[in-house]
Amino acid sequence: MEKDFRLIEDYLTGQLNKDQKKAVEDRLEQDPEFKQQFEFEKQLFDTFNDNSWNFADKNDLALNSYKSTVHSDDFQKIKESIADAGKDYEPEKLNRRNNSSWILYVAAAVVIVLIAVQVLLKNSVTNEELYYTYINLEDLPSFVTRNEAPKQTLAKAENFFEQKKYEASIALFEDILIENEKDSRVYIYLGIAYTESGNYDQATKTFNQLIASDLLDAEKGYWYKALLYLKTNDEKASKSLLETIIANKYYNAEQAVELLNKL
């Protein structure tokens, strides 16, 4: 059994040569039990790999239970309402673009020239602007999955954070750190929350704790600390940290290169 799993694993992670692959594929056709194991393993990979998706190909029964709902009048009516509400947010309609396309091209050219001139004249944005460009608050890893009770505090803390109620989220995140097993995301959220509420000393401390921890993502602390220094206008300290990140290929090394060039 264990040997089979190893084989399936090697197949799915692309470690077999052509002949070995062929052997697995042949066996898939002949051995239903092996095939079943294989499918399950593949589903796990497709579900939990960040770059894949576990597609449904069949199961008409389950699909049919949806189909009747899809074709109901009710559903079609709600669909219209949603399309209506979405109109305010849709990009400009195509036909308008066609009618006046040359004007748009000229306008675009003018804008490009203007931007170029602006970049030349005013060669740098403020450090605070850079901070907000790179901290990327929307993209912070979320704690949110459908969970049982203990994780509610995390979701609540994250929610406060998103609503920019930083004091409230700090209180919750601090509690979580005291009680719970450590999680690098908690440090990151907490550090940023301190930064946003102007408590730079605590923010520094928090990121230092992350860096000193034995967590998998400890190195992320360098990146967020570098951004913190940027926010406090300490360019020298920020640069030195960015260089550390690049030299050690820590988290976000590529972005660090980009940012360093802008400083």
Least distance from other proteins to the Cβ atom of residue 123, Å = 26
DSSP state of 137: G
CA distance 25 to 35: 9
Of the ranges 88-96, 125-133, 194-202, 240-248, which one interacts with other proteins (CB under 8 A)? 88-96
Residues 138-167 that bind other proteins (CB under 8 A): 138-139, 142, 144-148, 151-152, 155, 158-159, 162
Binding of other proteins by 178 (CB under 8 A): no
Report, in Å, the least distance between residue 182 CB and other proteins.
9
Name which of 27 and 151 has its Cβ closer to other proteins: 151
73 binds other proteins (CB under 8 A): no
Q: 127-157 b/e with 16+ CB inside 10 Å = b?
A: beebbeebbeeeeeeebeeeeeeeeebbeeb
Q: By CB under 8 A, how many residues form the interface with other proteins?
A: 63
Exactly one of 3, 13, 29, 179 binds other proteins (CB under 8 A); that residue is 13
Instruction: Report residue 123 as tokens.
Output: 């060669």
Residue 261 touching other proteins (CB under 8 A): no
- Smallest distance from other proteins to CB 37, Å: 9
CB of residue 202 to other proteins, shortest distance in Å: 26
DSSP state string for 21-52: HHHHHHHHHH-HHHHHHHHHHHHHHHHHSTT-
Distance (Å, rounded) from C-alpha 218 to C-alpha 210?
A: 5
| Cα separation, 185 vs 169, whole angstroms | 13
- Opening angle at CA 74, ends 72 and 75, nearest 5: 70
Burial class (CB in 10 A: 0-12, 13-18, 19+), 176: buried
CB-nearer residue toward other proteins: 203 or 253 = 253
d(CA 107, CA 101): 10
Summarize as ranges the residues that interact with other proteins (CB under 8 A).
2, 5, 13-14, 39-40, 43-45, 47-59, 61-63, 65-67, 69-71, 74-75, 77-79, 81-86, 88-91, 138-139, 142, 144-148, 151-152, 155, 158-159, 162, 181, 214, 216
